[in-house]
Amino acid sequence: MSAIMMDGKALAADIKRDVKAKALSMEHPPTLALVLVGDDPASVTYVTHKRRDCADCGIRTVDYTLGAETTQEELLGLVAELNGRRDVDGILVQLPLPSHIHERTILEAIDPKKDVDAFHPFNVGRLMQFVPCYVPCTPAGIMALLRRYDIDPAGKECVIINRSNIVGKPLAMLLLQAGGTVTVCHSRTADLARRCRQADILIAAAGKAGLVTADMIKPGAVVVGVSMARDDAGHICGDFGPAVGDKASYLTPPTGGVGPMTRAMLMVNVLKAAENR
């Protein structure tokens, strides 16, 4: 058996097309404030991609590129200003922040209505109560990908390898809300292989190349990879070893799966913020 590849790139393009059509029909364009502090190369790249996605979708961006020496008070001042601006629908402060700035203090200062990353405790709490407002982009993208392939988590064993705030925890809530029975694994989980073998839907986001081997896959399982880990030859393989695709029914490709979906779901959240303005 060879798994069907789940094409996140194509679905993301469809979603972005829909966002653009709606954005262009609005009297005032949806507007995202993109805040970057410092010059971490990965963060600069992520912000560049987000700016480009916005341009593709008819979303206006206002950019704030601040020096690494920016103080927490200065950043809080900017967030307060953006919270108050009626022409700004969404605020995204790119993480990680320099170590002298307390990330949680900044994230909690963002108006929950403009919290398009969905990291504010208000939005996290809504998700816990199964009444989500904004949903974090990576888990939202994974759920949209499952829906596109008519994969219904209801009644299924869902195993997530990740317990972070941006992937594992919100995804667990979404799968639970969708009727799945959810197991959340992490670096302290005993006998990861046994838990993976129980999974009808396995989502791996450990960032460890080759962590999940073919013998850990239940035949016919749906297997979603989030991480961009590279093998010894430098190729992106995610968390999966070779031949996982021979056991799975559906599989995300190492690139063009969850990554583009994450980016598309940010556009969905900004549009939603503009519609709710």
Q: Which residue of 58, 136, 253, 259 would you call a contact of ligand NAP, by CB under 6 A?
A: 259
Residues 6+ apart with CB under 8 A from 113: 273, 276
User: Is the Cβ of residue 153 or residue 259 nearer to ligand NAP in the bound state?
Assistant: 259
Query: Of the residues 53, 115, 117, 200, which is catalytic?
Result: 117
236 binds ligand NAP (CB under 6 A): no
Residues 177-206 within binding reach of ligand NAP (CB under 6 A)? 185-189, 192, 205-206
Residue with smaller CB distance to ligand NAP, 211 or 273? 211
Q: Does 43 bind ligand NAP (CB under 6 A)?
A: no
Nearest to ligand NAP of 82, 116 (CB atom): 116
**Of 26-34, 49-57, 70-78, 256-264: span binding ligand NAP (CB under 6 A):** 256-264
The phi, psi pair for 91, rounded to 5°, reads -125, 125
Nearest residue to 115 via CA among 98, 93, 131? 93
Helix, strand, coil content of the chain in percent (nearest 5): 40, 15, 40
**208-245 residues labelled b (16+ CB within 10 A) or e (exposed):** ebebbbeebbbeebbbbbbbebeeeeeeebbbbbeebb
Question: Reduced to 3 states, what is the DSSP secondary structure of residue 257?
Answer: coil
Kindly give the pairing relationship between strand 222-225 and strand 201-204.
parallel
138 contacts ligand NAP (rule: CB under 6 A): yes
Query: What six digits make up the tokens of 53?
Result: 């996605």
Q: Shortest approach of ligand NAP to residue 188 CB, angstroms?
A: 5
Residue nearest to ligand NAP as judged by C-beta position? 207
Options 34, 101, 135, 211; binder of ligand NAP; rule CB under 6 A:
211
Pick between residue 51 and residue 277 the one whose CB is nearest to ligand NAP.
51
Which residue of the set 50, 156, 218, 272 is catalytic?
50
Please report how close the Cβ of residue 192 comes to ligand NAP at its closest, in angstroms. Answer: 5
Euclidean distance between CA atoms 277 and 273, whole angstroms:
6
Pick the closer one to ligand NAP by CB: 6 or 258: 258
Q: Which candidate in 16, 53, 94, 114 is catalytic?
A: 94
Is 177 a residue of the active site?
A: no
The widest CA-to-CA distance across the chain, in whole angstroms, is 57
What is the separation of C-alpha 244 from the centre of its chain, rounded to a whole number of angstroms?
23
Residue among 9, 39, 15, 8 at smallest CA distance from 266: 15
Residue 154 structure tokens: 């209801």
Compute the least distance from the CB of residue 27 to ligand NAP, in Å.
32
Determine, following the binding rule CB under 6 A, whether residue 227 of this chain makes contact with ligand NAP.
Answer: yes
Return the number of the residue (92 or 206) whose C-beta is nearest ligand NAP.
206
Q: Going edge to edge, which strands form the sheet with 31-37?
A: 60-66, 31-37, 90-93
Residues 143-172, one symbol each (x = binds ligand NAP by CB under 6 A, - = not), give ------------------xxxx-xxx----
Query: Catalytic residue numbers?
Result: 50, 94, 117
Residues near ligand NAP, by CB under 6 A: 138, 161-164, 166-168, 185-189, 192, 205-208, 211, 226-229, 258-259, 262
